[in-house]
Chains A and B, each alone.
Chain A
Amino acid sequence: MEFLVKYFGLLLSGFITTVEVTMFGVLMGLALGVLLAIGDIYGGRIISTIIRFYVEFFRGSPIIIQLFIFYFTIPDLLHTLIDPFVVGLLVFSLNSAAYQKGYIKGAMEAVYENQMTAALSIGLSKPKAIFYVILPQALRLVIPAWGNEFCSLTKSTSALLVIGVRDFTSAAKTIAGQTYRNLETYTFTAIIYLIWITAVMKISDVLYEKVKIPGIEISA
């Protein structure tokens, strides 16, 4: 496995790219997912139909097609070029938002009804009630699903290979191609993915426990 030391720089930069895209995707996906969930619940028929189309597109098509559309199709139509890394950030954010909207909306609906009535009864406006009463409870419930989303997105980012972004998988492919040592390279890469994902899931568990409040938990 010494040969991997020689390629340490390449592996590290690939790993960092993977982490960057995943982190960005999950966080932007969260912010966007909250907006989409609120839009879907309160936006009326038209907005909620648009949101449904959006979600179905990102959940219903392969991530590689989504990357191609944002890397080739859209820039072609606009007669421009977009940096593949930026395309990666964009696609994974939009993709994650489509999934996270579902989790967040479900959690909001789980706490919604009586908490909203109580919030209105003390004089809070609806937006304030969402911000101070509904979301703090809903987001706590979403944390475990959030860990899963992180895990699945980390693995999906290996699709970045198809638009030429040097992520962790792409780095491994380059090394395997140059050294012909497929077994060691891919085994090593898989183990690193595994360690990273296990660590993130652990962090998500700790976070869930840390912000957990008696009375707001997912019943086992």
Chain B
Amino acid sequence: MARHMGEQKKEAVGTVGRKMTEIIMECRNLSKIYGKVIAVKDVSLKIGEGEIKLIFGPSGSGKSTLLRCLAMLITPTKGDVFLRGKCLTKPGVDLNKARARIGFVFQHIWLFHHLTALGNVELALRRVLKLPKKEARERAMQALREVKMEKWAHHYPAQLSGGQQQRVGIARALARNPDIILLDEPTSALDPELTGEVIDTLRDLAKKGATMLIVSHEMPFAREVADEMIFFDEGAIVETEPPEIFFTNPRSERAKIFMARLIKRTRRE
């Protein structure tokens, strides 16, 4: 079903021409250097409206650093980040405003411990978008419904399972209607049984046309929703391919080795 929709989406893009899709997020020659360690090396990428791109790659390769640079949670050492054409790396840009337009989902979830699920989702609506109380509550409940967590609205994070917490994390990221959602290994800290419910949530979002950049090693999910696969290693993009090519016949040697290992591991699970 999602696959079918994905094809429709591509067709629609095809008829108007690729250039017509607005570029939501872009980075050019982005690098992040910590002392002598180059975490991200000269990365350029673009994500158009409604596109879903997945980043694959070994751990420690700089994927999280790249995502955090894109969200301007850490300042890139070199290069530029653009959100809807607006440069975020220039001095004097209101980064709080920019971050309000970017949803971020963390590997270790990081909900606000002192707030209920609803409170977590509501906080940005009240204190960043400054919506009136009633409207903020309605929108937060709507976001919780989208991740099927409305029944748990009044529970604190510590009272929820990891999968439920991550769904609240997704609701928190999406309640503001951000331009793009960046997800940093949203399922890798969860038990395999809990991964499914989070993946289902992301699949729903994909169907609704959300623009997403996801670091994830969930292969079936990637095959299903990704418009493009980005293979990342040692701080740089090694290759980008449509998923059907990437999964059957990656070009680079490193991607081949990585995929072989990942398939072996997945089978074992």
- Which residues from chain A sit less than 8 Å from chain B, CB to CB? 111, 114-115, 117-125, 128, 132-133, 136-137, 140, 213-216
User: Which of A121, A125, A215, A216 has a CB less than 8 Å from the CB of B71?
Assistant: A121
Given the known inter-chain contacts A122-B123, A124-B124, A128-B127, please indicate yes or no for A213 contacting B73, CB distance below 8 A.
Answer: no
Query: Is B114 an interface position by the 8 A CB rule?
Result: yes
Q: Are the CB atoms of B114 and A118 closer together than 8 Å?
A: no
Contacts of A111 in B (CB 8 A): 113
**A213–B108 CA distance with the chains assembled, in angstroms:** 20
Rounded to whole Å, the gap between the CB of B227 and the closest CB of chain A is 24
Q: Are the CB atoms of A137 and B100 closer together than 8 Å?
A: no
> How many A-B contacts at CB < 8 Å in the complex?
75
Given the known inter-chain contacts A118-B106, A120-B73, please indicate yes or no for A132 contacting B123, CB distance below 8 A.
Answer: yes
Contacts of A124 in B (CB 8 A): 96, 123-124, 127-128
- Which residues from chain B sit less than 8 Å from chain A, CB to CB? 71, 73, 96-97, 99-102, 104, 106, 108, 110-114, 123-124, 127-128, 156-159, 172-173, 176
Q: Are the CB atoms of B110 and A123 closer together than 8 Å?
A: no
**A39–B173 CA distance with the chains assembled, in angstroms:** 30
Q: Are the CB atoms of B128 and A121 closer together than 8 Å?
A: no
**A120–B252 CA distance with the chains assembled, in angstroms:** 37
Contacts of B176 in A (CB 8 A): 122-123
Q: Are the CB atoms of A136 and B114 closer together than 8 Å?
A: yes
Query: Can you list 14 contacts pairing A with B, beta carbon distance less than 8 Å?
Result: A114-B106, A117-B106, A117-B110, A118-B112, A120-B99, A121-B102, A121-B106, A122-B128, A122-B172, A123-B96, A124-B96, A128-B128, A137-B112, A215-B156
Contacts of B114 in A (CB 8 A): 133, 136-137, 140, 213, 216
Besides A117-B110, A215-B157, 14 more A-B contacts (Cβ < 8 Å) are A114-B110, A117-B73, A118-B111, A120-B73, A122-B172, A123-B99, A123-B124, A124-B123, A128-B127, A137-B112, A137-B114, A213-B114, A215-B156, A216-B113
